[in-house]
Amino acid sequence: MCSDTDDMRSVGARASSRWAWGRALRIRLCRMACIAGLVFSAPALAQDDAPPGMKRYFMVFLIGAPGRGPMPDALFEQHMAYIRRMVGEHVYKLAGPLTDRDRIAGIIILSAPSIEAARGIVAADPSVRAGVFSVEVHPALLPSLEGLTL
């Protein structure tokens, strides 16, 4: 599973500077993905039905096309600006790339009133609008992320 040693040191040495997000964020992202994996099988619950300390979120997987190359710099900057705006507006609770260059290119954990709203939020990302990524959106029941700062 995930641990502090999963900081992708070997990948980070080869990664371009635009993907070097920082060790702490990668560790948090890995831990939250592990926790999310444990609760994905939970039945759909209304927010009011969530157990104490838990909250309903949506986990988004950014799916890249097979054999995709690097994102054009201008589009990457627009994508990052959108992510920063969503984090600043407290919509995105956690976001980041996966570095194994596999099918899932990144994950986002976000807060929204419904799955339709969550889909609309991620559909507005310039990289999704440009067709670089498609998305999968899944409801998740996670420990509250309200105190998490990025």
**pLDDT over threshold 60, residue 73:** yes
Question: How is residue 120 written in tokens?
Answer: 């609309």
**Band of residue 24 on the pLDDT scale cut at 50, 70, 90:** very low
Residue 32 is predicted with a pLDDT of 53
Residues whose CB falls within 8 Å of the CB of residue 91, separated by 6 or more in sequence, listed in order: 110, 111, 112, 121
Average pLDDT score, the chain: 77
Residue 115 · residue 139 · CB < 8 Å: yes
User: Each residue of 105-144: pLDDT tens digit?
Assistant: 999 999 999 999 999 999 999 999 999 999 999 999 999 9
- 123-149 burial: b if 16+ Cβ within 10 Å, else e: eebbbbeeebbebebebbbbeebeeee
pLDDT per position as a tens digit, 81-109: 999 999 999 999 999 999 988 899 999 99
In this predicted structure, what is the pLDDT of residue 102? Answer: 86
Q: Say which residues have a Cβ less than 8 Å from residue 115's Cβ, sequence separation at least 6.
A: 58, 137, 139
